[in-house]
Amino acid sequence: MKLLNRIVDAINDRGPFIFFTPCVSVIGNCSEELVFGLLRARRENKKLVVLRPYELPWKFRFPITNREIFNLTSPFHAEVPAPIRIFLQLMLTAIYGPFHVLSRLLGKALGQWAHLDGRLTHPNLGNTTLWMPTAQPAEFHWGAVDAFDWPQQIQKPLSVGMRPDKRALAHAIRLEMGIPEDAWFVGLHVRERGFYNPTEEITCRNATIANYIPAIREITDRGGWVVRLGDKTMTPLPPMERVIDYPHTRFKSDLMDMHLIGECRFYIGIPSGILDTAFLFQRPTLIMNMTTTALAYPRRRGDRGIMKHIYSKSKKRFFSVKEILESPWETQIFYTLGDDIEMFENSPEELREAVVEFMRNLDDGIDAPTPLQAEANRIRIEHGRQLLSRVLFADHYVDMHNRYRLASRLESSAGSLSQTFLEKHWTTSGRNVAAAT
């Protein structure tokens, strides 16, 4: 596969097209890679050719989480004639399909540890230099990160949408769902454990949908609609006026997932996959119950967020926001939390206040940070650079890939934490210690 990747990289470097296979099994990774693939096409004045393998039968199917995401359009996306596209996708399936089947069989017979390397079983062509200066960089250099000028690239509008025929069909279905033609609506996603693994041990990424009800009512009281996003394993919402519990309706589909995210007035999310889909569609975004400052910070000017509260068992207190921003890697990423650290959800009142502030900013056209927000951003970037200057992963390729990828997020994120939240928790946490005992 290394040879195939080198051949594709050479073609992409020299030709007018960038042949590209984003991650098919995880919607967040797929969305993010599509963004950065389009950015590469734009800065190199090329067209992006997006490909994926065909689905295999029975239990050997590639786990494609959303098929409609491959039907998006952009000025930097190439529409490939059907015969050529079919041939290329057949080739991908013929190359990667046997390894995918073998990996599944080995896993079934010998356990999860026997699965083959994902670079053999899932196409990852054309994505080695999305964030890195070369396909195999020897070292990590901030000069290489700076050369990409991520802040300028991310903040410059990138036109992405659905094909006209798909958009028209989705719009008709939206009307059938009950949302009036002239109504505005908000997309809401609150992660639960059911979609990937009902028994997952790392639950700090999840949150309780019931806590969001006061925030939902702030939106509906202003005349908006709320469309709750997710899957059928989600805890059902109670019936509320102008609220659609979309995963539990007959309208749930790949097409409507893309439409409802791409057409919402703004998106409220949690650090989970479709947050990056909202980023792909460049929707104004409010992130609540944030579990990391390195991976999922508000990306575009005007985007806002509030963090989950971090409690230290040894110190017997909650950390302030400033302490969290300056904390070691172990408390920056949800999956590296040590035994001393526990995360607590935002309260219903914090969620409501964040929504009120965000809608006020949207109505007033405010996207610039306040002095306190700017100071928080400065500390985040300064400390983040220190963290990413050290080796994070034992495997050299994985380390380079992830450090350059994280650096693009660190440098380009131009949103900020909500002002109300910062004022309450900046130097001393306002969270009651009794909540952790």
Cα–Cα distance for residue pair 193/201, rounded to 1 Å: 9
Task: Walk along the chain (437 residues) and give the pLDDT tens digit of each residue.
Answer: 778 888 898 999 999 999 999 988 889 999 999 999 999 999 999 999 999 888 888 777 777 779 999 989 999 999 889 999 999 999 999 999 888 888 888 888 888 777 888 778 888 899 888 999 988 899 999 999 999 999 999 999 999 999 999 999 999 999 999 999 999 999 999 999 776 665 555 677 899 999 999 999 999 999 999 999 999 999 999 999 999 999 999 999 999 999 999 999 999 999 888 999 999 999 999 999 998 876 689 999 999 999 999 999 999 999 999 999 998 877 777 666 778 888 899 999 999 999 999 999 999 999 999 999 999 999 999 999 999 999 988 999 889 999 999 999 999 999 999 999 999 999 999 888 877 76
Token pair, residue 251, equals 């309208």
The verdict on residue 401 lying in a domain is yes
Both structure tokens of 87: 């041939």
pLDDT of residue 122: 82
Regarding whether 365 and 310 lie in a shared domain, the answer is yes
The verdict on 47 and 184 lying in the same domain is: no
Domain final residue, candidates 86, 115, 130:
130
Do 179 and 239 lie in a common domain? yes
- 220 and 346 part of one domain: yes
Residue for token pair 């220190």: 386
Task: Decide if 38 is inside a domain.
Answer: yes
Give yes or no: residues 84 and 230 share one domain: no
Q: What is the DSSP string of 84-135?
A: HHHHHHHHHHHHHHHHHHHHHHHHHHH-GGGPPPHHHHS--TT-TTTTSSSS
Answer yes or no: is 296 within a domain: yes
**Strand, coil or helix: what is 424?**
helix
Q: Is there a single domain that holds both residue 332 and residue 273?
A: yes
Is residue 415 in a domain? yes
One-letter amino acid identity for 216?
I
Both 318 and 382 in a single domain? yes
329/327 Cα distance (integer angstroms)? 7
Q: Tell me the angle at which helices 164-177 and 254-263 cross, rounded to the nearest 10 degrees.
A: 90
Residues 196 and 337 in one domain: yes
Q: Residue 227 domain-assigned?
A: yes
Per the domain annotation, does 55 fall within a domain? yes
Q: Is residue 85 a part of any domain in this protein? A: yes
Tally of CB atoms within 10 A around 405: 17
Question: Which of 76, 109, 130 is where one domain is finished?
Answer: 130
Burial of 167 (0-12, 13-18, 19+ CB in 10 A): middle
In a domain, 150, yes or no: no
Contacts with 24 (C-beta within 8 Å, 6 or more apart), sequence order: 30, 52, 53, 62, 63, 64, 65, 122, 123
Three-state secondary structure of 278-330: HHHCCCCEEEEEECCCCCCCCCCCCCEEEECEEEECCCCEECCHHHHHCCCHH
In this structure, the answer to whether residues 7 and 51 fall within a common structural domain is yes
Predicted TM-score (pTM) of this structure:
0.93
Which domain CATH number covers 199? Answer: 3.40.50.2000
| Residues 194 and 117 grouped into a single domain | no
Instruction: Please tell me whether residues 322 and 424 are part of one structural domain.
Output: yes
Domain total of the chain: 2
- Do 119 and 231 have their domain in common? no
Residue with tokens 């769902």: 177
The whole-angstrom separation of Cα 416 and Cα 419 is 8
Q: What range defines the domain where residue 242 resides?
A: 161-436
